[in-house]
Amino acid sequence: MKNLTIGMLFSVVGILFVCLTIMDILPSSTKTMKVVYIAIGWVFIIIGSVIRFKNLKQKQ
C-alpha cells in the first residue's frame, strides 16, 4: 500500500508540474525551458505509473 501511495504522489507532482508550466505559472524565460519543465513533469508521471504498476503486479 505504501508503494501505491508513493506512485500516486509522483504522478500527481508530475501532472501539477506539467499543468503549471502550460498555464505559464512556472517562470520560464524561453520556450526551451518550457519544454524542459514539461519533460521533467512527464518523467515524474512515468515514474509514478511504473511504481504503481509494479505494486499491483506484486499483489497478484
Sequential DSSP letters for 3-58: HHHHHHHHHHHHHHHHHHHHTT-S--SSHHHHHHHHHHHHHHHHHHHHHHHHHHHH
CB 55 within 8 A of CB 3: yes
Q: What's the confidence (pLDDT) of residue 37?
A: 92
Q: What's the confidence (pLDDT) of residue 28?
A: 83
The reported pTM is 0.86
Whether 60 shows a pLDDT value over 80: the answer reads no
CB 26 within 8 A of CB 37: yes
pLDDT of 15-53, one tens digit each?
A: 999 999 999 888 888 999 999 999 999 999 999 999 999
Q: How many CA atoms lie within 13 A of 10 on its CB side?
A: 19
Q: What's the confidence (pLDDT) of residue 59?
A: 76
Q: What's the confidence (pLDDT) of residue 40?
A: 94
Bigger pLDDT: 56 vs 50? 50
